Structure 1
Amino acid sequence: MSYYQDKIKQLKENHYSNDKQIASIISVKNYIDTHYENDINLDILSHNQFISKFHLLRLFKRYYGLTPKQYLIDKRIETSKTLLKKGTSVTETCFAIGFQSLGSFSTLFKSRTGKSPSQYQKEQLSRSN
């Protein structure tokens, strides 16, 4: 490889690599995973990574196939399933995972799982006994 080809390769690696984008998106996912119970929106996520919220939205969707909001909802629903299996009340579960309204939690849970939170909990507890 010639000197100039080597320099071009270095420039491409340093200035045009996706490593920083990937690291930013992984950081956003990790932030959601650890702070899912808080109020999270694109403004907060983009501010933490010093990136445009619209660019963040496109990158997150490209790498994970979901928007950050969809990922957050999925994370909350999966966590709520775990809490309900342990016997935590529906109301406590709702507020523990970051929802502000029991009605919105129940509606969303039912739309995602096909069962209300209380039905899901009853089924899981009867299976474990």
Structure 2
Amino acid sequence: MSEVSRFWRDPALPFVEARCVADGRQVCYAAHSHESFSLGIITGGHSRYLTGDAQHEVAAGTTVLMNPGVVHTCNPIAGQPWAYLMLYVDLPWLQAQSFALPSATLSTSTALYGHLLEVFAGLFDERSPAAKHALLVALFERLPGLLGNTVPARAPTHPRLEMAAAFIRAHRSDAIDIDAICAAVGLSRGYLIRAFGKRFGLTPHSYLLDQRVQYARAQLRLGRPIAEVALEAGFADQAHLQRAFKRHLAMTPGHYRDAQS
């Protein structure tokens, strides 16, 4: 029987990781975001994909794309089975390749789907790190053409809301509350909560938790102790990190840290 979820990582390629999920019914997420650029392919069944304020039903053959910081979920429809492969690529590496983030959030291109299947197969097999690096470079060189859309993503902006999000990111490990955020950006509590949710898809508190989970995820990739990471990320203890991590990423911190391809 296939594992429900497994990861591929390579210390020689620390800017990227991949995930294979054989049964998406057992891997369900709360709304969350990633610091990395993420793209995935649905390899079986159907699921519901929510990105920003748009909702789609996606099926096998569909590619989904998530820019850094974009809140999203992708979960089963009424308990129906589905499966997928995901790729997470760190933004600094993409910027070094002069890759412009796409505006597309999904694609039904068979050429793109087929190319991504080849990339995942190459990452999960026994090729050398150099060969896998070449696969990734070729993917991002070809991606704009395969998508047919090279316009950079531009989200509607509100300067004070952007300031609030930046304040949260800068203080994600600190003991901040809604009053501290309001004071920093000059907005009332009621307005900030309403407008922030519309702009980012999460309340300020949920956004803070998401940022802490992202920080913990990056540290756990380095193999650090869970309890130490929990406190450093701003959680009261390991149990609080455990609950938040599982809601956001559908796995425990220990599973994620110790996962192997």
Q: TM-score, normalised by structure 1?
A: 0.75
Identity within the alignment, %: 24
Aligned residue in 1 for 2:187: 51
Runs (5+) with no aligned partner, structure 2: 1-156
Q: 1:111 to 1:61 in 2, by over 3 A?
A: closer
Which residue number in structure 2 is paired with residue 89 of structure 1? 225
Task: Indicate whether 1:28 and 2:164 are aligned.
Answer: yes
Amino acid at match of 2:228: E
- Give the whole-Å Cα distance in 2 for the aligned partners of 1:31 and 1:112: 21
The residue that corresponds to 2:235 in the other structure is: 99
Residue 78, structure 1, aligned to residue 237, structure 2:
no
Structure 1: 5+ residue stretches without partners:
1-20
User: CA–CA distance in 2 between the matches of 1:30 and 1:112?
Assistant: 20
Change in Cα spacing, 1:38 to 1:67, as seen in structure 2 (3 Å) is: same
Determine whether 1:61 maps to 2:180: no
Post-superposition CA distance 1:11-62 (Å, at most 9, x none): xxxxxxxxxx811111111111111000121111111122211111111112
How much is the aligned-residue C-alpha RMSD, in angstroms?
1.5
For 1:17, the equivalent position in structure 2 comes to none
**By percentage of residues, which structure has more helix?**
1
Match of 1:104, SS state, is helix
Identify, as 1 or 2, the structure richer in strand.
2
Residues of 2 paired with 1:82 and 1:45: CA distance?
25
Any runs of at least 4 consecutive aligned residues in structure 1 with deviations exceeding 6 A, and if so which?
Answer: none
Measured in 1, the distance between the counterparts of 2:207 and 2:218 equals 17
CA-CA distance at 1:118 after TM superposition: 1.1
* Alpha-carbon distance, 1:75 to partner: 1.1
Output one character per residue of 1:72-124: Cα deviation in whole Å (capped at 9) or x when no partner. 1111111111100011110111011101121111122122222221111110x
Paired residues in the alignment total 105
